[in-house]
Amino acid sequence: MVYINLLLAYLKIGLFGFGGGYAMLSLIQHEAVDMIHIGETAPWLTLQEFTDIVAISQMSPGPIGINSATYIGYKVTGNIWGSALATVAVCIPSFILVLLVGRYLLRNRENIYVKAIFNALRPIVVGLIGSAALLLMNKENFPDYTISVAICVASFVLVRYAKLHPILIIILAGISGLILY
């Protein structure tokens, strides 16, 4: 039953996860942390485990939605088949939609209805990404908000005004977090 639950959950996430991996995070959290699936006695992950998965998925090469699907599939089933199932299931809806809709959109991209649909999707995607940001603002990620806000503001100032390279800022922020936490 766990494989069916995993398949259905990740098909749903793949189908409704407009805006990429960060927009999917709230859907993934709902399915993995907040929901108890049919035939199961507990959610798949705790909030701490989910936070760890998000961190690992961000550090790993590739899209965060696919990386987290791979890890959660393995965690839930304990084997590579669950990992592969979740990874494929999250990709299938997008792949099929692109195949079906891609040619139509190319031919009709100047159509007022197509433009209206894309204009309506933009704020939805921004909202989903904002939701992911709020979702990640928890005690597991930010034990002390004042330190986190200070690192964020310092990072912004150094990139914006001192014109330091973002990779250097990421390294400095990581070292600061390590020292201050």
Q: Whole-angstrom Cα distance, residue 61 to residue 14?
A: 19
Are 175 and 155 in contact by the 8 Å Cβ rule? The answer is: no
Q: For 125-167, write each residue's pLDDT tens digit.
A: 888 878 877 877 777 777 777 888 899 899 999 999 999 999 9
Are 79 and 58 in contact by the 8 Å Cβ rule? The answer is: no
Q: Whole-angstrom Cα distance, residue 41 to residue 2?
A: 11
**Secondary structure (3-state) at 12:** helix
For the record, the structure tokens of 142 come out as 């930010």
Per-residue confidence (pLDDT) for residue 75, from 0 to 100: 93
For every residue of 67-87, DSSP letters joined together read HHHHHHHHHHHSSHHHHHHHH
Q: For 20-30, write each residue's pLDDT tens digit.
A: 777 788 889 99
Are 32 and 50 in contact by the 8 Å Cβ rule? The answer is: yes
What does the pLDDT average to over 78-98? Answer: 92
pTM to 2 decimals? 0.68
